[in-house]
Amino acid sequence: MRWLRTCLQAAAVLAAALSIGGCFSNRQNEGAKLYQTHCASCHGEQGEGLRRLIPPVAASDYVTRNRASLPCLVRKGQRGPVVVNGVEYNQVMPGHTDLTDSQIANLLNFVQQNWGNKNEPYTIREVSELLGRCNGSDGQ
Amino acid sequence: MMRFLLRQALRSSALAWSAGLLLASCSLDSNPDKAATLPYIGEREVKPRADGGPADTVFAVVPTFHLTNQQGQPVTKATFAGKVYVTDFFFATCPSICPKMQSELLRVYEQYKGNPRVAFLSHTIDPDHDSIPVLRDYAERLGVKDASQWHFATAPRDTIFGLAHAYFTAAQPDKEAPGGVAHNGTFALVDSKGHVRGLYDGMVKAEVDRLIRELPVLLKEEEQTAATAAN
């Protein structure tokens, strides 16, 4: 019976989404699209990284362990050595001032819940708060 | 001679075609004549002969160069004597296209690893940062252990930008671009005489697949030229 309830809930959500002018309709794959646009050429189309040069984001212990600092990492970039899945990497990652807080939330939720990562998603409000730590929130 | 080649080409394509009809469901990957020779890319000069014979066509060649690779060894045109090679332009801290481009070039390298007739030459366009130890570290992280087959090379900026031009790769300083240099991900395939014989967009898998298909065509031509020269 649970599947029936899930279906009904999904239908209700869909109806609600349609009734408010489809304002979420383009958001559905936003995280995946943002990943392809902003991350894939370095971290790989499947998040696999590149040898010992670029760390993977797929099945990545770093992504799990650093949940709270990832929004600032995306916003400000990162340099210096990092260890991911036991391998040391040392590359410069550029920051992204071209993404809004909500885009960072969608992007990180995509990464946190795909390719073997099964981590708690963020709310946009939470991402904005976390970005506040590095003065990186644009409030959008 | 030309007529013979033409006739043979026609015959083999007719054969492939009829075979294709017979084995309609078999993918023959026929059309062996499709890329029988690769084009010469760049300016060509037609030099009339003094004796009135047929004019000679002189194709553009890459200028002589002197680079240093990740082991501190010199890399010059002599390094590639009797080889074909593939070039690109990158820098170690390049945040935009380089990782994708180098991972595509790795695909080509993996197929020709250990083949003494094929070499790779990646030029850094950020020689100020990319010292020899930086280049060595980069190569090792990429999994390239054999510096005699895949050179990660440096030279003064002007030399590099001049060579980029010779290999039909756009590269110039640009304050707006990530990393301060604007460049594209062109791979150039160069024959043993220093002629550029193919250009491929290293950011596009299908283009790199074309390079992987065309490399053997050039190797075959090199073999035939060597055999003719030996006779």
Neighbouring residues of A28: CB distance < 8 A, sequence distance ≥ 6: none
- Sign, CA dihedral B126-B127-B131-B132, equals positive
Please tell me the distance from the alpha carbon of residue A111 to that of residue A60, in angstroms, as a whole number: 10
**pLDDT at A6 exceeding the cut of 90:** no
Count CB-CB contacts under 10 A for residue B213. 12
CA proximity to B92, closest of B27, B208, B179: B179
Under 8 Å between Cβ of A81 and A90: yes
For position A23, what pLDDT does the model report?
44
Inter-chain CB proximity A92 and B203 less than 8 Å: no
* Mean pLDDT, residues A29-53 taken together: 94
B49 touches A at CB < 8 Å: no
Residue type, B27: S
**Domain count for chain A:** 1
Chain A neighbors of B178, CB-CB under 8 A = 94
B140 touches A at CB < 8 Å: yes
Q: Which of residues 13-42 of B touch A (CB under 8 A)?
A: none
Q: Which residue of A lies nearest to B203 if distances are taken between CA atoms?
A: A41
**pLDDT at A117 exceeding the cut of 90:** yes
Q: Identify the domain containing residue A88 by its residue range.
A: 30-132
Least confident of A17-21, A31-35, A61-65, B53-57: A17-21
Q: Which residue of A lies nearest to B99 if distances are taken between CA atoms?
A: A42
Chain A neighbors of B106, CB-CB under 8 A = 51
Neighbouring residues of B48: CB distance < 8 A, sequence distance ≥ 6: B55
Q: What is the residue-level pLDDT of chain B in tens, covering all 231 positions? A: 444 444 444 444 444 444 444 444 444 444 544 557 999 999 888 888 888 888 888 999 999 999 999 999 999 999 999 999 999 999 998 877 888 999 999 999 999 999 999 999 999 999 999 999 999 999 999 999 989 999 999 999 999 999 999 999 988 777 777 667 778 899 999 999 999 999 999 999 999 999 999 999 999 999 998 888 877
For position B14, what pLDDT does the model report?
43
Q: Tell me: the pLDDT tens digits for A100-112?
A: 999 999 999 999 9
Q: Which residue of B lies nearest to A52 if distances are taken between CA atoms?
A: B141
Give the closest-approach CA distance of A42 to chain B in angstroms.
5
Q: Which of A35, A36, A41, A87 best probes binding to B when mutated, by most B CB atoms within 10 angstroms?
A: A41
- Sign, CA dihedral B103-B104-B105-B111, equals positive
* Distances B214 to A13, A116, B190 between C-alpha atoms, Å: 53, 37, 12
Q: What ipTM was estimated for this complex?
A: 0.72
Angle between helix axes B98-112 and B205-230 (nearest 10 degrees) is 40
Inter-chain CB proximity B99 and A42 less than 8 Å: yes
B132 touches A at CB < 8 Å: no
Q: Residue A138: inside a domain, yes or no? A: no
A41 touches B at CB < 8 Å: yes
For position A2, what pLDDT does the model report?
61
For position B4, what pLDDT does the model report?
44
Please tell me the distance from the alpha carbon of residue A17 to that of residue B168, in angstroms, as a whole number: 51
Question: Where exactly are the structural domains of chain B?
Answer: 66-227
A54 touches B at CB < 8 Å: yes
User: For chain B, what is the largest distance between any 2 Cα atoms, rounded to a whole number of angstroms?
Assistant: 61
For position B15, what pLDDT does the model report?
43
* Mean pLDDT, residues A35-51 taken together: 94
Q: Which residue of B lies nearest to A95 if distances are taken between CA atoms?
A: B95
Q: Which residue of A lies nearest to B144 if distances are taken between CA atoms?
A: A51
Percent residues over pLDDT 90 in chain A: 75
Inter-chain CB proximity A44 and B203 less than 8 Å: no
Chain B neighbors of A93, CB-CB under 8 A = 95
Chain B neighbors of A94, CB-CB under 8 A = 95, 178
- Sign, CA dihedral A96-A41-B114-B149, equals negative
A42 touches B at CB < 8 Å: yes
**pLDDT at A17 exceeding the cut of 80:** no
Q: Topology of B66-227 in CATH?
A: Glutaredoxin (3.40.30)
CA proximity to B201, closest of B218, B217, B183, B185: B185
Please tell me the distance from the alpha carbon of residue A52 to that of residue B66, in angstroms, as a whole number: 29
Alpha-carbon dihedral B79, B77, B152, B71, rounded to 10 degrees:
40
Count CB-CB contacts under 10 A for residue A60. 22
CA proximity to B42, closest of B27, B22, B57: B57
B99 touches A at CB < 8 Å: yes
For position B21, what pLDDT does the model report?
40
CATH of the domain at A101: 1.10.760.10
* Distances B129 to B2, B66, B102, B157 between C-alpha atoms, Å: 53, 19, 18, 11
Residue with tokens 């390239």: B144
